[in-house]
Amino acid sequence: MEAEGPRPFSEEQFRAACRELDQPAPGAEGPWQLLVETMGVRIYRLYHESGLYEYKIFGGLADCPPKLCADVYMDLDFRKEWDQYVKELCEKTYDGEKVIYWEVKYPFPLSNRDYVYVRERREMDVDGRKIWVVLAQSVSVPQCPEKPGIIRVKSYKQSVAIESDGKAGSKVCMYYFDNPGGMIPSWLVNWAAKSGVPAFLKDIQKACLNYSKRT
């Protein structure tokens, strides 16, 4: 288990992430809007009180079994090899609590962003279905202060639920929200949602194939 001591996430948060796998069309159930459907991925968004959007992503990863997919997603060192947007990524321990520090490259002339967050992975059994869930959220850690020239993302939340697609691959549902701060041009936000997310899933798919070769 990732977490030691008090758990940052509740049992209900993990079960809620599992339920998302059975809600493939959130737009039919409320204010979620279908933003784009591309490369076998559906991306929905919901207006957030901050003026930004929350996102739900539904897709599949062919030839990537769910446990392998979860292992790749959790492996920070390996992510530095396949994710071109990682500037720095490492796990640190403060007062017995494990936290992750992550600096993300942004295109010039925008400042890079960094995150300090906790995460936990669980393998859930839901009525005989095996579902791998990873939850993450930002935390404030005084020992990890903001750095000059880098904008700290103070509001970040993510959940990922993965299960078998009944063949050799996985079904994936991801919820995501962050407030990147600063002045982000709308074209970059749109690009990240419409192109960056499907490309990221393709990168994970490729990383899964490479991961099984190296272990």
**H or E segment and range at residue 60:** strand 53-61
Angle, CA of 161, 179 and 17, to the nearest 5°: 15
Domain ranges of the chain: 11-21+32-196
Q: What is the CATH topology of the domain spanning 11-21+32-196?
A: Alpha-D-Glucose-1,6-Bisphosphate; Chain A, domain 4 (3.30.530)
**pTM across the whole model:** 0.90
Confidence at residue 64, expressed as pLDDT on a 0 to 100 scale: 92
pLDDT digits (tens, 9 = 90+) for 161-181: 999 999 999 999 999 999 998
Q: Which range is least confidently modeled, 17-26, 154-163, 198-207?
A: 17-26
**What confidence tens digit (pLDDT) does each residue in 96-142 have?**
889 999 999 998 888 999 999 999 999 999 999 999 999 999 999 99
The residue among 94, 118, 98, 93 whose CA lies nearest residue 9 is 118
52 neighbors 190 (Cβ within 8 angstroms): no
